[in-house]
Amino acid sequence: MPDEPEHPALEELRRRLEEEEDAYSEVLGAVDRLATFPLPAEAGPEIGERLATLNTLWPAPDPPAGGGLGDRMRRRAWDALAPVLQRQTQFNAALVQLLNAYTEHAERLHARLRELSGAIVRYAQRVQPLVDARDRVASALATTRSELILESFDRRLESLARRREGLLSLAGRLESVSEEVRTAFDVRLRGSRAEVRERRAGYVDAFRSLSPVVDLGCGRGELLELLREAGITARGVEGNATLARECREKGLEVAEGDPVEFLRAQGAVSLGGVFAHRVAERLAPPALESLLAETHRALRPGGLLVLEAINPRSVVGLLEVFHRDLSSERPLHPETLAFLAAAKGFSEVRVEPRRTVSPDARLQPVPTEGVPPRVAAVLNENVERLNGLLYGPLEYALFARR
């Protein structure tokens, strides 16, 4: 297995460490060279000899002695030069004393410098092993610390894994309960099987020559059963796992999943018809447009799309049906749905009302007896308008051809 490249931060740290080690070696070499300088007496042995000769020559000579003529003339000359010789002697004495003192101090200073340089070199030589030892100890401590952290992290992971298993088990139980609740609620919203079959029966003729037909959100499979009984090939897709399983137990071809993704998996011009009840208003606008586009792609020319939706122009439909369904995204006006279908390339787009309200549940007209005809006409006209607004058809169906 090839070595993995180091992290950029580690590479930079390693580079800096090498630079510092090189700089340390350079400084140590320079100090070592400086510590080996010779003392003046060692560098020039003649210095001591010259200083000794200077010490013997600086005193002035004694005045000449004797009583001869020559001696008297030398004494006279000596007496004439004595002041100059005395000053020269004093100068020589001061110079020799200065040289002696300077040489003595210089020798002591040079000795101290050599001692200091040697101490620096010895200290630097001891620092390097100390640093190496400290690095080894730090590395060992870091390894131990990392092992302790990893061990603690492993224990936490094991604890989290146990909690996760418990939560998954609880979520599974809750999902099972939620699935049952959604199934019961869906059945209650749709109505009994007999009622749904009666409402779907009118679509059999519309799809009679359009096999295969796909029912998006097929629920308990009422339309699929009707189509099978009429000899029309049909299959469905249902997001509720319980309902999808019940359909398959009845021998219906039903997949569990998302309707848009199901359509994407179908081949182009491979379907004759597509039906969807209460699916359009459960989708966000982008998903709804995708559903229409994928349906148009999958339908062959002449294929039929039928979409049933809650009628938002019916107050009862909104209050009693739409808002009771927690999966509803937004009311979908029939003109809006028709416009979107036409925009995606569908033709012969029309809208038909479905599930009209019983006349007994509507507002009753005002009796005309004893009421002026004009007043009665106005009141009954308003009653009819209110009936259209309040008790309009609960649903509508959009028909569109490929």
- Residue 305 located in a structural domain: yes
Does the predicted model carry a pTM greater than 0.75?
no
Q: Which of 111-120, 171-180, 192-201, 381-390 has the lowest mean pLDDT?
A: 171-180
Per-residue tokens: 243: 């309902």
3-class DSSP state of 240: coil
Residue 351, phi then psi, degrees to nearest 5: -125, 135
CATH number at residue 231: 3.40.50.150
Question: Tens of pLDDT along 269-327?
Answer: 999 999 999 999 999 999 999 999 999 999 999 999 999 999 998 888 887 787 777 77
- Residue 158 located in a structural domain: no
Residue 177, C-beta contacts closer than 8 angstroms, at least 6 positions apart:
none
3-class DSSP state of 350: strand
313 and 399 co-located in one domain: yes
- Positive or negative, the CA dihedral 329, 330, 334, 336 is negative
Q: How many CB atoms sit inside 10 A of residue 75's CB?
A: 15
Question: Tens of pLDDT along 119-161?
Answer: 776 666 666 666 666 666 566 666 666 677 777 777 777 877 7
Distance (Å) of CA 304 to CA 111, 259, 296, 322: 111, 17, 9, 25
Which residues of 123-249 form beta strands (DSSP E)? 213-216, 234-238
Distance CA 106, CA 303 (A): 115
Is residue 327 a contact partner of residue 275, using CB atoms and an 8 Å limit? no
What value does the mean pLDDT of the chain take? 80
Question: Tens of pLDDT along 87-125?
Answer: 777 777 767 776 777 777 677 777 777 777 777 766 666
Distance (Å) of CA 336 to CA 289, 294, 305, 325: 12, 18, 16, 21
Q: Which of 44-48, 181-185, 211-215, 287-291 has the lowest mean pLDDT?
A: 181-185
pLDDT for 177: 46
Give the residue from 151, 178, 199 where a domain finishes.
Answer: 151
Q: Which of 102-106, 138-142, 178-182, 240-244 has the lowest mean pLDDT?
A: 178-182
Per-residue tokens: 313: 């122009």
Structural domain range at position 210: 191-257
pLDDT for 141: 60
Question: Tens of pLDDT along 324-375?
Answer: 777 778 899 999 999 999 999 999 999 999 988 888 878 888 787 777 888 7
Is residue 120 a contact partner of residue 41, using CB atoms and an 8 Å limit? no
- Residue 183 located in a structural domain: no
111 and 205 co-located in one domain: no
Distance CA 337, CA 334 (A): 5
> Do the strands 271-277 and 299-310 form a parallel or antiparallel pair, or are they unpaired?
parallel
